[in-house]
Each structure stands twice: as structure tokens, then as C-alpha cells.
Amino acid sequence: MLKGIPKILSPELLKVLAEMGHSDKIVISDGNFPAESMGKNAIVIRADGHGVPELLDAILQVFPLDTYVDHPVNLMEVMPGDNVETPIWNEYEKIVAKHDKRGKDAIGQIERFAFYDATKKDAYAIIATGESALYANIMLQKGVVTD
């Protein structure tokens, strides 16, 4: 056990977060995301039983967001024609604002298939959660620790 580290962050996840360097990307995926097939070139960490918001909040306590890009946080855009509400995005805005002074301005959106491509190409790791909300996938780009 460690002091000051959120208990939801497993030793495996902490190791991965520490290994990541500036500009590396990590995806926190919902339960429907094809983490294993998208993560053939990434580290896939299972976090079944946990939701994305609780992991996002814990990760952002130890993980700086990149200050050199407009959107170090990206969501998977809702596909045209999908009649889906995304109230979880409001939770993400609150969590990001708690940890980054840019607040919701730090959050962008990536079209669904472009999100898949970016995950396959750029993700250092994918955290596969048990999140049941639709379009709950979120990609974070790491910045530098300045303190």
C-alpha cells in the first residue's frame, strides 16, 4: 500500500502510467470497446467492475495532461444517426476541470473510426473497464510533471 495514491490504481496501472512519457496516449475504454483487438500494439489493462469516471479521476491525480496540444483529452464522437445521450461526458468535464485549469476546453472529440485508428496507432495502453455508458471512451495525452 502507498499513501496518497488512489486505491483504484492497480500496481500494473501505476507502472504503466509511470512508464509513459510526454505525448504518450492512454485510452480508458467502456465495456463495449474492442480493447484486445485495438490493443495488439499496446498494453491492455483489465479494470472490469470499475467505471470510466472513477478511473479518470484517479488517473488525473497522478497524470499531467499535455499543455502543448489544444485537446489532450478526446472523446469518441457519436456516430451520425445514433440517437444516444452522453450524460457521462458532463461527468468527464467536471473531472477534467478539477485537475486541469483549461477545464472543458481541454476536451475534444474524434470521429469513431478515427478514434479506433488513433488507438491502434498511438495508444501506449488501453484500460478496459466495465463501463456500461455508451460512447464513454476517452483518450488522454500525457504532459510533463512540473513540480
Residue 48 domain flag: yes
48 is catalytic: no
116 is catalytic: yes
Q: What is the pLDDT of residue 1?
A: 73
Q: What is the pLDDT of residue 2?
A: 81
Residue 25 domain flag: yes
Split into its structural domains, the chain has a count of 1
Question: What is the rounded CA–CA span in Å between residue 142 and residue 77?
Answer: 21
66 is catalytic: yes
The tens place of each residue's pLDDT in the chain, 147 residues long, gives 788 999 999 999 999 999 999 999 999 999 999 999 999 999 999 999 999 999 999 999 999 999 999 999 999 999 999 999 999 999 999 999 999 999 999 999 999 999 999 999 999 999 999 999 999 999 999 999 887
What backbone phi and psi angles, to 5 degrees, belong to 142? -75, 140
Residue 46 domain flag: yes
Residue 83 domain flag: yes
Question: What is the rounded CA–CA span in Å between residue 138 and residue 121?
Answer: 15
Residue 1 domain flag: no
Where helices occur in the chain by DSSP H, the ranges are 11-19, 35-38, 52-60, 88-99, 112-122
Residue 63 domain flag: yes
Pick the catalytic residue from 66, 92, 124, 135.
66
Q: What is the pLDDT of residue 62?
A: 96
Residue 52 domain flag: yes
Residue 39 domain flag: yes
What backbone phi and psi angles, to 5 degrees, belong to 44? -105, 125
Question: What is the rounded CA–CA span in Å between residue 24 and residue 129?
Answer: 20
Domain hosting 137: range is 11-141
Pick the catalytic residue from 71, 105, 116, 122.
116
Phi-psi region of 23 (alpha: psi -120 to 50; beta: other; left: phi over 0): left
CA distances from 33 to 11, 26, 39, 127, 138 (A): 23, 14, 11, 10, 11
pTM of the shown model: 0.96
The CATH number that applies at residue 95 is 3.40.1650.10
